[in-house]
Amino acid sequence: MNEHKDLKRLVRGAVQVIPLQDLQKKLDSGKKLTIKFGIDPTSSDLHLGHTVVLFKLKEFQDLGHNIVLLIGDFTARIGDPTGRSKTRPPLSKEQIADNFKTYLDQASRILDLKKITVRYNSEWLEKLGADDFITLCSRVTAARILEREDFKKRLVDQTPIALHELLYPLLQAYDSVVLKADVELGGTDQTFNLLCGRYLQEQMGQDPQVVLTMPLLEGTDGVQKMSKSYDNYIGLIEQPAEVFGKIMSISDELMAKYYLLLLGIDGVELQNKREQGIHPKELKKQLAFGVIERLWSKEDAQKAQEHFQALFEQHDYSQATPVKLPDQSPVWIVDLLKVLGAISSSSEAKRLIEAGAVHIDNVVIADFQAKIDVKAGMHIKVGKHRIYQLVD
């Protein structure tokens, strides 16, 4: 069988295509495939980690296939147990609706929304009667569900597993049955859930979907996958200057992966740049510029680079992010960081302070309980590339 002309492009950068020969057969059929990607709106914004799969969806869209963006407004009430050591707190319908408000606007930076179908799994999951639900559950054994590493680890650690968590992979799989998905995309952490979809389709007499998984993008800490939960994410609703600084803070080792997954530039091309004598810092600038140009605009990228150079290379603190002076003084350092918008939680503040990553007027703040006498003109540096100036 000759390789389909689009196959090489579509599998580029993927970790697994299960099974590859099925994808080739589906492409060879000449029909427009239904490509499924599901998102549970458990937070209010998307980040660069999400764009890895969205860029792959864009490739399928450019080839004329049918993209289904599935909003897991029902499954979000359960909470995906993937990678979790304990049960997720439940979300209300109102929280889920609020979180979803900006999703489509952010996804539109990559996908043509006029050419996608948006579906909500509450459409069918809320309508499942007791008989239908029991029949659905009979399709999958408990042993199969408990095969997943997250559940096995929690059993060994004697950490409770709520019954509704066991149902999550089954409900996600049923989404594929309803949508008659030909291909489902996701990160490597979703492999078990995606394979459940393939298995359930087969059990219910459908042509099983192909599972295509993309690599997980590590966050700014270079260790954990990018996630709001780990305070290491770069959000699509952030200001370009903030994004530029965060990308400049990643390690040189991680830079190659960002180039590949966010700009499509592989290791060979990057090595050619290095052999041309381009300094790693300049390569990182080019990375930050390229990401912002692709997801925001060239003008935004230019302004963000100029802001970075003025602030961090020329030490022009007039370019620091202005923040209104707090009403009270002294103020607890954690509250000050919250006023700046530099942290989302006290635990993040503690981590930054313990790492020596918080400076006020070039003095390291090492005490988590510190009270700060604030004044106009004060400069607060958080991490490597965020500087704020207090103003009246």
Claim to verify: residue 214 and residue 332 sit in the same structural domain: no
Determine the structural domain holding residue 344 and report its residue range.
321-391
Q: Is the pLDDT of residue 92 over 80?
A: no
Question: Is 204 a member of any domain?
Answer: yes
The answer as to whether 223 is a domain residue is no
Residues 161 and 276 placed together within one structural domain of the fold: no
Do 173 and 37 share a domain, yes or no? yes
pLDDT tens, residue by residue, 369-382: 999 999 999 999 99
Q: 108-118: buried (b, 16+ CB within 10 Å) or exposed (e) per residue?
A: eebbeeeebee
d(CA 196, CA 37): 14
Q: Which residues contact 301 (CB under 8 A, 6 or more apart)?
A: 240, 244, 288, 289, 290, 292, 293
Residues 186 and 59 in one domain: yes
How confident is the model at residue 343, as a pLDDT?
A: 84
Q: Which of 184, 218, 252 is the last residue of a domain?
A: 218
Q: Determine the average pLDDT of the residues in 81-85.
A: 50
Question: Does residue 206 sit in the same domain as residue 110?
Answer: yes
Based on the fold, state whether residues 172 and 66 are members of the same structural domain: yes
Q: Does 228 fall in a domain?
A: no
Handedness of CA 321, 325, 330, 332 (dihedral sign): negative
pLDDT band at 85 (very low <50, low <70, confident <90, very high): very low
Task: Kindly state the helix (H) or strand (E) to which residue 387 belongs, with its residue range.
Answer: strand 387-391
Pairing between β-strand 379-382 and β-strand 358-360 as defined by DSSP bridges: antiparallel
Same domain assignment for residues 51 and 195: yes
63: phi then psi, degrees, rounded to nearest 5: -90, 5
How many structural domains comprise the chain? Answer: 3
Q: Are residues 134 and 266 in the same domain?
A: no
Whether 196 and 249 map to the same domain: the answer is no
Question: Structure pTM?
Answer: 0.83
Q: In terms of domains, do 49 and 65 share one? A: yes
What mean pLDDT is predicted for residues 231-235? Answer: 87
Same domain as 358, residue 264: no
Residue 226 lies in a domain: no
Report yes or no on 357 lying in a domain.
Answer: yes
140-149 tens-digit pLDDT = 888 888 877 7
Which of 285, 316, 347 lies at the terminal end of a domain, its last residue?
Answer: 316
Closest alpha carbon to 232 in 326, 336, 344, 130: 344
- CA 110/CA 294 separation, integer angstroms: 9
182-210 average pLDDT score? 95
Band (pLDDT 50/70/90 cuts) for residue 263 is very high
If asked whether residues 294 and 187 sit together in one domain, one would say no
Coil, strand, or helix at residue 172?
A: helix
Whether residue 290 lies inside any domain: the answer is yes
Kindly state the tokens that stand for 88: 């997720």
Q: Which of 316, 339, 367 is the last residue of a domain?
A: 316
Residue 227 lies in a domain: no
Instruction: Write the burial class of residue 272 (CB in 10 Å: 0-12 exposed, 13-18 middle, 19+ buried).
Output: exposed
pLDDT of 178 higher than 70: yes
Look up the CATH number of the domain holding residue 209: 3.40.50.620
Residue 350 domain flag: yes
